[in-house]
Amino acid sequence: MHINQIDTPAAVVDIDKLEANINRLQDYLDQHGVANRPHIKTHKIPEMAHMQLRAGAVGVTCQKLGEAEVMAQAGIRDIFLPYNILGETKLERLMHLTRRVQISVTADSEVTVRGLSQAARREGTTLPVLVEFDSGIGRCGTQSPQETAELAQIIAKSPGLHFGGLMTYPISAHVDAFVAETKSRLATAGLPVERISGGGSPCMWQVHEHPAITEHRAGTYVYGDRAMVKSGAMSLEQCAFTIIATVISRPTAERGILDSGSKTLSSDLQGLEGYGLILEYPEASIYQLNEEHAHVDFSPCPRKPDIGERVTVIPNHCCVANNLFNQIIGVRGEVVEVVWPVAARGLLQ
Amino acid sequence: MHINQIDTPAAVVDIDKLEANINRLQDYLDQHGVANRPHIKTHKIPEMAHMQLRAGAVGVTCQKLGEAEVMAQAGIRDIFLPYNILGETKLERLMHLTRRVQISVTADSEVTVRGLSQAARREGTTLPVLVEFDSGIGRCGTQSPQETAELAQIIAKSPGLHFGGLMTYPISAHVDAFVAETKSRLATAGLPVERISGGGSPCMWQVHEHPAITEHRAGTYVYGDRAMVKSGAMSLEQCAFTIIATVISRPTAERGILDSGSKTLSSDLQGLEGYGLILEYPEASIYQLNEEHAHVDFSPCPRKPDIGERVTVIPNHCCVANNLFNQIIGVRGEVVEVVWPVAARGLLQ
């Protein structure tokens, strides 16, 4: 089947570029002796996770229990879930996973640690728990090395738990001093920090500048998107994930409407102007989205598209765009090679 | 099952409110003699479409062929697809639908009309085609009454097609004069305008101020959301659709993190501040989203939430939030009565 036989809007992945992206990061991390633990939230597709593992990843990272369950069902045996797992239902699901999978999680509070400890003790297992610390972006995480070291010691003393190390996102200049002070505090307490897990795709080529980092979690690198290109971590040519759309209306000389709206591209701006880059019309601006319509200003383009013309859009944020599709079309050149169900999307946390 | 047994994040619909919303708009449109043709893009759930039909709707509106196919498979027999259907694959699917369903579509260009005519002629059917005109929002649609009347006449003369009337979105002050002039031009040409289809939920209580409108398409009214409340068309208490979330981290005295990010609430701002309203903490601000994290500033709240606490979020835009879930939980009071698969999401256009 030729790519032109795929109806629009469709999410298409160039398999050659996908493989190159997987190998490029793996080679870099191998070269610097850092474990690669890719984040599957970008693709949510078991076969892609297996491609990453075959290339040399030590395991995968999932953001939700539902994603971890899908990956476990696909035969993946080493899963990191860097999230505060809270509540009886989720703790029970997590414990069920420990029976089949080597799984580690994170905590940034005693409340989370207490729940994990009770569940693991009841299960009769030992669960590795890493402390999440705030890299400076102000999301989750302990706020100081002192707080981090204290929580690590609470984990180490909690029945059923093993202190598994430190986790943060993204790696930043802030991280090195934070980790050094935390390690020093924990050394005094006689507690080794066996694993320091950093994350992020835009910063992935700077991992070697942070020698304390022992593993890296990148998600977006597998596809690439407009935000990644803006960050300088990938080139436009390396972007493997595109949305094929059709120009369905040309109501005025300057305006065109595509069949790819906020339910296709998502409304994520990621600090960019417009909602995506049209490869065939790079000067055009996708200035507004409705659910199934993209409003495009083609006025700066020397040639304007015809109604019915197909265009290729690099979305701002591939992770949320991928999550809007039931299926991703895998192409080699212009030939459809595989249709992947997005197995781990839309599930319960 | 009690609602508190549902794990988070979850999309929950209050069935009593849903029914009241369905009946309220139906009663209003009945009172003014306007046909009700609700837009199913909001819920994408066949049973809800049947609820709308049972209340008195003349048929449904779909935005994508995939949605129309799902509704047809659920036994719905009158479907309006107000979209330019282009390309052989889609035209063939549309023709297959005409065999089982009374279906009408729109066009805003001769290119669209030509494709529809060829397909309908080949199929040996007569397809009603309405002309989409621009209500003033600058999306699709013909730009002037003259252009509209010309396209209507082209449709009327095209083999396999029947000129079905006019369509626009949303209804606005601009619409009345536009319709009057178009009708007058078409009267001169001897072409009656049998159906004038307006759309939009925020403007739904103004339909009677536009006597030319013969049918109305509203989608969001069925659920309600923060944008609808801001528009004044619904009250907060009427909102039937909520996201249940858990506070998974309280890294600082002021900040809290919920387990509902851009893959749960969507990044749609709809001109609002923040990404949703937390009913239990109305002063709080959801100021940033990551994929599975909402960053919340609880500083203006007299009481701050505990880690593990469940909260209820009214999203900015229910249509895109609903589209992010595989299932919607229907509750009556606090009891789970039904779990609806979102059957028409993530499909091909």
Return the number of CB contacts < 8 Å for A and B: 166
Give residue B235's pLDDT band: very low, low, confident or very high (50, 70, 90): very high
Which residues of chain B are in CATH 3.20.20.10 domains?
Answer: 17-222
Tally Cβ neighbours within 10 Å of residue A229: 18
Global ipTM: 0.97
Residues from chain A contacting residue B63 (CB–CB below 8 Å): 291-292
What's the count of helices (H) and strands (E) in chain B, helices before strands? 9, 17
> Mean pLDDT lowest for which of B223-232, B295-304, B340-349?
B340-349
Q: How many residues does chain A have?
A: 349
| In the predicted structure, residue B87 carries a pLDDT above the cut 60 | yes
| Whether the Cβ atoms of residue B25 and residue B17 lie closer than 8 Å to each other | no
Record: contact A263-B323, CB cut-off 8 A? yes
| In the predicted structure, residue A349 carries a pLDDT above the cut 60 | no
Distance from CA of A138 to the nearest CA of B (A): 8
The 10s digit of each residue's pLDDT in A217-257 is 999 999 999 999 999 999 999 999 999 999 999 999 999 99
Residues from chain B contacting residue A290 (CB–CB below 8 Å): 139
Give residue A346's pLDDT band: very low, low, confident or very high (50, 70, 90): confident
Which residues of chain B are in CATH 2.40.37.20 domains?
Answer: 227-341
| Whether the Cβ atoms of residue B138 and residue B101 lie closer than 8 Å to each other | no
The 10s digit of each residue's pLDDT in B95-114 is 999 999 999 999 999 999 99
Closest CA to B348 of A272, A26, A10, A324: A10
Residues from chain B contacting residue A346 (CB–CB below 8 Å): 324-327, 342, 345-346
Q: What average pLDDT does this structure show over B287-308?
A: 98
Q: Which residue of B has its CA nearest to A341?
A: B346
Record: contact A266-B269, CB cut-off 8 A? no
Residues from chain B contacting residue A319 (CB–CB below 8 Å): 291
Q: Which of residues 24-63 of B touch A (CB under 8 A)?
A: 41, 63
Distance from CA of B176 to the nearest CA of A (A): 20
**How many whole angstroms separate alpha carbon B208 and alpha carbon B34?**
8
As a whole number of Å, the end-to-end CA separation of chain B is 36
Facing residue for B292 by CB, picked from A63, A293, A308: A63
Closest CA to A155 of A110, A213, A197, A215: A110
Tell me what the pLDDT averaged over chain B comes to. Answer: 97
The 10s digit of each residue's pLDDT in A289-339 is 999 999 999 999 999 999 999 999 999 999 999 999 999 999 999 999 999
Third-level CATH fold of A32-223? TIM Barrel (3.20.20)
CA separation (Å) from A264 to A172, A259, A340?
Answer: 32, 9, 17
> C-alpha angle A164/A167/A171, rounded to 5°?
150
The 10s digit of each residue's pLDDT in A69-105 is 999 999 999 999 999 999 999 999 999 999 999 999 9
- Hey, which bits of chain A come out as E strands? 10-14, 35-36, 60-61, 78-84, 102-107, 127-132, 161-167, 196-199, 215-217, 241-249, 255-258, 276-278, 285-289, 294-297, 310-315, 327-332, 335-341
The 10s digit of each residue's pLDDT in B315-330 is 999 999 999 999 999 9
Q: What average pLDDT does this structure show over A247-273?
A: 97
| Whether the Cβ atoms of residue B87 and residue A259 lie closer than 8 Å to each other | no
**Residue A258 touches chain B, beta carbons under 8 Å:** no
Facing residue for B109 by CB, picked from A10, A250, A263: A250
**Residue B307 touches chain A, beta carbons under 8 Å:** yes
Q: Which of B89, B139, B286 to mutate to test the interface with A (most CBs of A within 10 A)?
A: B139
Q: What average pLDDT does this structure show over A37-44?
A: 98
Facing residue for A320 by CB, picked from B291, B295, B346: B291
**Residue B89 touches chain A, beta carbons under 8 Å:** yes
Q: Which helix (H) or strand (E) holds B212?
A: none
Q: Which of A39, A45, A86 to mutate to test the interface with B (most CBs of B within 10 A)?
A: A86
Alpha helices in B135-293 (DSSP H): 145-157, 173-188, 226-231
Q: Which of B69, B140, B323 to mutate to test the interface with A (most CBs of A within 10 A)?
A: B140
The 10s digit of each residue's pLDDT in B54-77 is 999 999 999 999 999 999 999 999
**Residue A83 touches chain B, beta carbons under 8 Å:** yes
Q: Which of residues 176-235 of B touch A (CB under 8 A)?
A: none
Facing residue for A248 by CB, picked from B84, B251, B323: B84
**Residue A271 touches chain B, beta carbons under 8 Å:** no
Record: contact A346-B346, CB cut-off 8 A? yes
- The CATH class for the domain spanning B227-341 reads mainly beta
Closest CA to A78 of A62, A102, A97, A57: A102
Tell me what the pLDDT averaged over chain A comes to. Answer: 97
Residues from chain B contacting residue A292 (CB–CB below 8 Å): 41, 63-64, 83, 349
Which residues of chain A are in CATH 3.20.20.10 domains?
Answer: 32-223
Give residue B295's pLDDT band: very low, low, confident or very high (50, 70, 90): very high
pTM: 0.97
Facing residue for A84 by CB, picked from B249, B306, B346: B249
Residues from chain B contacting residue A151 (CB–CB below 8 Å): none
Q: Which helix (H) or strand (E) holds A21?
A: helix A15-31
DSSP string over A23-80: HHHHHHHHHTT-EE--BTTTT--HHHHHHHHHHT-S-EE-SSHHHHHHHHHTT--EEE
Give residue B346's pLDDT band: very low, low, confident or very high (50, 70, 90): confident
| Whether the Cβ atoms of residue B172 and residue B212 lie closer than 8 Å to each other | no
**How many whole angstroms separate alpha carbon A196 and alpha carbon A209?**
14
The 10s digit of each residue's pLDDT in B220-230 is 999 999 999 99
Distance from CA of B108 to the nearest CA of A (A): 7
- What CATH number has the domain spanning B17-222? 3.20.20.10
Q: Which residue of A has its CA nearest to B134?
A: A251
Record: contact A143-B112, CB cut-off 8 A? no
Tell me the Cα Rg of chain A: 22
Record: contact B307-A252, CB cut-off 8 A? no
